[in-house]
């Protein structure tokens, strides 16, 4: 019995695009956190019981702080409550949770670091920590409401796609790869399922090692409730069926392990 739900202290909060907020918080979770892991954030509203799994965008171990960048999903939602918090407010959290991206696999290789929509934020800490041959960051947004661009540009070659073509390549992250003639030996990606499906198909066709961060509705966040499963090719050793737990066994999986 070594872990517990603890109050993180909000250090700062700002809106960095329409519906997208950025929060730094002081929390012990920062001490062990790795890129690709997430934290469970709880609301202070007694009518909303389930934690919100939010990916970690940046880690500052020295200051024991984490940055989360999240989408406010609507009126009266948990994320709207988070967005109203100010420096000094407290927010219950557990974490870090999940496995994170295997950084070391990229050593000396040409890597794609791909993020789409609210799957963009975890790519930032990955980009900061990754030591690879060529670091190609490909991030996709809906429209000109792009975020974290400056931070990405400090950490690698950045390619942007927008669905409406207002910034960078018109289309999605796969279109950005094609338009810029990019090539990779290893891929890391986080984003909506259709995007991950396309990346998986691309990687498998070309025989590229590919790590995908999946998402699904969660309840416990720690691997007990079996809400957030994904289908796997092989029978999973824990579940004894073709299901893995995204919160506990993931959220990052080798693309060839999972059916999405």
Tokens 């990052």, residue?
Answer: 252
Instruction: Say if residues 84 and 108 touch (Cβ distance below 8 Å).
Output: no
Alpha helices in 36-170 (DSSP H): 78-83, 121-129, 149-153
Among the residue ranges 17-25, 184-192, 201-209, 213-221, the one whose residues contact another protein (CB under 8 A): 213-221
Q: Which is nearer to another protein, 47 or 86 (CB)?
A: 47
* Position 216 contacts another protein (CB under 8 A): yes
Q: Stretches 53-61, 163-171, 203-211, 220-228: which one binds another protein (CB under 8 A)?
A: 220-228
Check residue 31 for interaction with another protein (CB under 8 A).
no
Binding status of residue 225 toward another protein by CB under 8 A? yes
> Which residues in 181-210 contact another protein (CB under 8 A)?
none
234 makes contact with another protein (CB under 8 A):
no
**From edge to edge, which strands make up the β-sheet containing 110-116?**
169-170, 157-162, 134-141, 110-116, 186-190, 209-213, 252-254
Which of the ranges 53-61, 135-143, 170-178, 227-235 carries the binding residues for another protein, by CB under 8 A? 227-235
Report, in Å, the least distance between residue 46 CB and another protein: 7
Rule CB under 8 A: choose which of 7, 16, 48, 99 binds another protein. 48
Q: Which is nearer to another protein, 22 or 40 (CB)?
A: 40
Please name which of 26, 9, 6, 217 lies closest in space to residue 95, comparing C-alpha atoms. 6
Contact 242, 234 (CB under 8 A): yes
Is 39 in a helix, a strand, or coil?
A: strand
Region class of 180: left (phi > 0), else alpha (psi between -120 and 50), else beta: alpha
- Residues that bind another protein in the complex, under the rule CB under 8 A: 1-5, 42, 46-51, 92, 94, 216-230, 238-243, 248
């Amino acid at each position: 019995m070594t872990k517990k739900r603890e109050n993180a202290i909000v250090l700062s909060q700002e809106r960095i695009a329409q519906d997208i907020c950025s929060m730094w918080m002081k929390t012990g979770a920062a001490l062990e956190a790795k890129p690709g892991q997430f934290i469970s954030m709880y609301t202070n509203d007694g009518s909303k019981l389930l934690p919100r799994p939010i990916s970690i965008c940046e880690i500052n171990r020295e200051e024991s702080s984490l940055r989360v960048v999240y989408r406010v999903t609507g009126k009266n939602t948990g994320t709207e409550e988070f967005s109203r918090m100010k420096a000094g407010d407290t927010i219950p959290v557990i974490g870090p949770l999940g496995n994170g991206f295997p950084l070391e696999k990229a050593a000396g290789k040409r890597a794609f670091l791909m993020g789409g929509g609210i799957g963009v934020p975890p790519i930032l800490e990955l980009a900061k920590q990754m030591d690879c041959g060529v670091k190609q960051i490909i991030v996709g947004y809906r429209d000109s409401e792009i975020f974290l661009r400056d931070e990405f540009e400090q950490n690698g070659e950045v390619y942007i796609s927008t669905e409406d073509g207002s910034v960078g390549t018109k289309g999605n992250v796969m279109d950005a790869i094609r338009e810029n003639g990019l090539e990779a030996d290893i891929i890391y990606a986080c984003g909506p399922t259709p995007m991950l499906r396309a990346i998986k198909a691309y990687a498998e066709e070309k025989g590229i090692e590919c790590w995908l961060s999946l998402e699904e509705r969660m309840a416990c966040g720690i691997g007990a409730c079996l809400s957030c499963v994904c289908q796997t090719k092989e029978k999973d050793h824990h579940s004894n069926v073709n299901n893995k737990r995204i919160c506990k066994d993931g959220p990052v999986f080798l693309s060839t392990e999972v059916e999405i």
